[in-house]
Structure 1
Amino acid sequence: MEKILLVTASKKSADMLLELLQAGGQRPDRILVTGSCNEARRVLIENNVDLIVINTPLTDEFGHEFAVHACHTTTAGVLMLVKSDLADSVAERVESDGVFVITKPISRPLFYQTLHLVNASRMRVYTLQKENRQLRQRIEDIRVIDRAKCILVAERHMSEPEAHAYIEKRAMNYRQTKRDVAEEIIRSF
């Protein structure tokens, strides 16, 4: 993971979690540490992080509101560390939003396994978002091309297949995309 945001109220827990993350292969210069949710929100505005670890409770709020906020506004994986007696009730509130909850005290194997699961989940979301962007771009390309076809049908009295063939042929002849040709047609009329 490139950048990690660690949100924890005490210096002692920050040191322990930093040691855990570094032992797991994370570079210390890639870990940002904050002591409150408000400070963490400011850090998120200025930085793109891959993982957010929230050690609850925090000084300004418990941490579940920030965890949900982070899931909805970033692509980072979010992991909450919660006392075992509260873990089930917190998990009920936040898991549907994509927050991973593990109990304290933390066992190393469980912590590392959860980090791998969070990263796998984050990568899957990233892949889906990338596919979504590509599909939206293709839909927009089709809209522009269809608009150009309509112009050719109306202004040059071509049939739809003729307009389609005209755009394709011109794109091949001038080594342009069909969208670029369609945009030229739209601009010229």
Structure 2
Amino acid sequence: MVFQERTYSVLLVSAGEKFAKTLAELMPPARFWPVTVVKSADEARRVRLSGGYDIILINTPLPDELGVQLAIDLCAHSDAGVQLLVRTELFQEVYDKVTEHGVLALAKPTSTPMLVQSLRALCAVRERLRRAEAKQATVEEKIQEIRLVNRAKWTLIQCRGMSEEQAHRYIEKQAMDTRSSRREVAARILEECG
């Protein structure tokens, strides 16, 4: 398998311009793009509604709240990797509160290598979430197909007086004979008999 480097969209929430600039410099555009910088929790919530992000970094404190609730909310309502940077004296308390919600916490002040490492960890978290999303979508598609096929079976039972076994065999045979999916056959049956 050939390694493909992905580009990650980033939402950076920081009241401090210096910190935001330093962090943005650690994110090369070939790997992290676009990088959106906002200064408050309210602004972050508004911006997040307009589009999804792969990575969300929150530098606490923010002018309108500490940022803990923002991190929890964003983690609950998005598939982004969320990291909260918090002062060392508050770290343990915040860590205990946010970890169960899937938020990564990092004590500050921190070093450049630690920030780079945490960005890599967030990329790994995002990839894992991406795979889980794909798996969930596949399961949901299968469930929808099963429901559609079952509706078609009941339609055949009612319309054509077939038994459930006969209706099942009919759908399977039609799919093989017409080189169609069971979903397509079920949709045709519902359209014809509906």
Which residue is 1:104 aligned to?
Answer: 108
State which of 1, 14, 29 in structure 1 corresponds to 2:20. Answer: 14
Distance 1:53 1:117, change over 3 A: same
Name structure 2 gaps, 5 residues minimum.
1-6
TM (norm. structure 2) is 0.88
Alignment map for 1:114-133 (pairs within 5 Å): 114-133=118-137
Is it true that 1:95 corresponds to 2:99 in the alignment? yes
Equivalent residue for 1:36, pick from 21, 37, 40: 40
Shift of 1:188: 2.3
RMSD: 1.8
Q: Residue 131 of structure 1: CA displacement?
A: 1.0
Aligned residue for 1:48?
Answer: 52
Q: CA deviation at 1:108?
A: 2.1
Aligned pairs for 1:60-71 within 5 A: 60-71=64-75
| 121-130 vs 149-158, greater mean Cα deviation | 149-158
Match of 1:159 in 2: 163
Deviation at 1:119, TM superposition (A): 1.7
Once the two structures are overlaid, the 10-residue window that deviates more, 72-81 or 124-133, is 124-133
Q: Is the 8 A contact 2:13 2:40 kept in 1?
A: yes
Shift, 1:156, TM fit:
2.2
Q: How far did 1:159 drift?
A: 3.0
Of Structure 1 and Structure 2, the greater helix share is in: 1
Task: Count residues with an aligned counterpart.
Answer: 187
TM-score (structure 1 length as normaliser)? 0.90
SS in 1 for 2:26: helix
Q: Structure 1 CA distance, aligned partners of 2:97 and 2:114?
A: 21
Percent of matched pairs sharing the same residue = 38
Q: Secondary structure at the match of 2:104?
A: strand
Residue 4 of structure 2 corresponds to which residue in structure 1? Answer: none
Please tell me the residue identity of whatever aligns with 1:118.
L
SS in 1 for 2:53: coil
In the alignment, the residues of structure 1 paired with residue 30 and residue 59 of structure 2 have an alpha-carbon distance, to the nearest angstrom, of 20
Deviation at 1:25, TM superposition (A): 6.3
Find 2:141's aligned residue among 134, 137, 146.
137
Question: 1:69 corresponds to which letter in structure 2?
Answer: D
CA-CA distance at 1:60 after TM superposition: 0.9
- Give, in angstroms, the shift of residue 151 of structure 1: 2.4
CA contact (8 A) 2:41 2:67 kept: yes
